[in-house]
Amino acid sequence: MNLPTASEQTPVIQLDGVTVEYQAAQERIPSFKEYAIRWLKREIRYQRFTALRDITLQVYPGEILGIIGPNGAGKSTLLKVVARVLHPTRGRVRIAGRVFPLLELGAGFDPELTGRENVYLNSAILGFPRRDVEKRFDHIVEFAGLQEFIDAPVRTYSTGMGARLGFSVATDVQPEILIVDEILGVGDANFQKKSFERIQQFQADGSTILLVTHSLQKVREMCTRVIWLEQGNLVMEGDAEQVVGQYLERNKKREESRLQKKRVVQKKKEAPKRWGNRKVEIIDVRIENGHDEEQHVFQTGDELRLRIRYHAHEPVDDAVFGMAIHNHKGIHITGPNTQVAGLDLPVLRGQGEVLFKVPALPLLDGLYHISVAIVDEQDTDTYDYHNRLYDFRIDNVDSSSIEKYGLVTLGGQWELLG
């Protein structure tokens, strides 16, 4: 039997030219009284903000559609339009099926009521009959892992406990259309695995799912199709690998550009991050990849080269070149120099350069700052010191095989010995 293709199916979600605009006051008004007075005098000036701009989209039965983009791109606004929480300013929205929105877990909970009472309250808000909830109550509590706390007031719950209960209530029944907004990270690792598996089971049973998450790895694992939003516009739509790959490449280019611009600004505003008598002056520093190309965003294991150009204004026969790396919290990670490495430098005259190579960066995700310096062999005379003036980033977001915790990878191997 041949199954219908997406183009032969009827979409369960269809958006035609959807635009959402907000009108906001241009200045902050401190009180409602003042707002009312200024409104009556027609002294309030407004500006229009477009959250979504002319979005046309079809979602078909059984799809998991991923929605990616930076903060403020319009992702949550799109979900609220589909959930009918917001009405579009222009355009048409057609939904075929009941929508279960997981926009803010536990938003309807009363903190003074117990977990048990809130299960019934939240279920009623979602439209579940009490008789059905009574049959499913034990299963809801068991999935949330809150058997010991179900009769305690919700105000005594941690944020994670409340989110787990909210997720369990909202997903205990197979939904026709499920909207998931940044909630796959709730609870501990075990609960995250259970919630992930439940959503996968929904897809296998035919539910249509709209997923917003900053975890691009989850998007790649789960989604059959992805859309990319930027400033309310639909930038790209298609296969998950293709769209996520383009999105990561764009982000990498933007971060490269930002760090390069920051380097230019820092060179102009170097004090008080630079000091020394400048008998030997550092005139240029470049962070490069293994092909001698300037680069500022790397992955763990990439080659990094640090090129330092200098100008000796008088002959210097005891120069030592060094570098140091700090993370964004100021932790000193390493500090190699030519003296410790045993590199015997000649008398420096005029201009020249030194190159420091790291064949495989052991650093993990994060922003790092490089210092470079030229001192004498006794480390009593500083010729030129640039303190944390050069930045680079390690970004492993599109790699699931690299360690996620700590500052460095040891490159070790695990073995099962029995």
* DSSP string for 94-138: EE-S-EEEESSTTTT--TTSBHHHHHHHHHHHTT--HHHHHHHHH
206-226 pLDDT per residue, tens: 889 998 888 888 888 888 899
Q: Which CATH architecture has domain 252-394?
A: Distorted Sandwich (2.70)
Contact by Cβ (8 Å): 66, 240: yes
> Around Cβ 326, how many Cβ atoms within 10 Å?
18
* Phi and psi torsions of 268, nearest 5°: -80, -25
Q: Which pLDDT score is estimated for 29?
A: 67
Q: Which pLDDT score is estimated for 290?
A: 93
Q: Which pLDDT score is estimated for 268?
A: 53
Contact by Cβ (8 Å): 212, 181: yes
- Sign of the CA dihedral running 149, 151, 153, 154: positive
* Beta strands 225-230; 233-238: pairing state: antiparallel
- Tokens describing residue 61: 């039965």
Contact by Cβ (8 Å): 66, 222: yes
Q: Please tell me the total number of residues recorded for the chain in this structure.
A: 418
Confidence of residue 13 (pLDDT cuts 50, 70, 90): very high
Lowest mean pLDDT among 20-24, 102-106, 132-136, 379-383: 102-106
Q: Rounded distance, CA 238 to CA 246, Å?
A: 11
Domain residue ranges in the chain: 6-239, 252-394
347-389 pLDDT per residue, tens: 999 999 999 999 999 999 999 999 999 999 998 899 999 999 9
| Whole-number percent of the chain with pLDDT over 90 | 48
Q: Which CATH architecture has domain 6-239?
A: 3-Layer(aba) Sandwich (3.40)
Query: Angle formed by the axes of helices 189-204 and 159-170, to 10°?
Result: 20
Nearest CA-CA partner of 274 in 356, 372, 392, 377: 372
Place of tokens 């990670």: 333
Contact by Cβ (8 Å): 227, 67: yes
pLDDT at 3 over 50: no
278-332 pLDDT per residue, tens: 999 999 999 999 999 999 999 999 999 999 999 999 999 999 999 999 999 889 9
242-251 pLDDT per residue, tens: 999 899 888 8
> Around Cβ 7, how many Cβ atoms within 10 Å?
7
Q: Rounded distance, CA 142 to CA 144, Å?
A: 5
> What mean pLDDT comes out for the span 27-53?
73
> What mean pLDDT comes out for the span 46-54?
83
pLDDT at 108 over 70: no
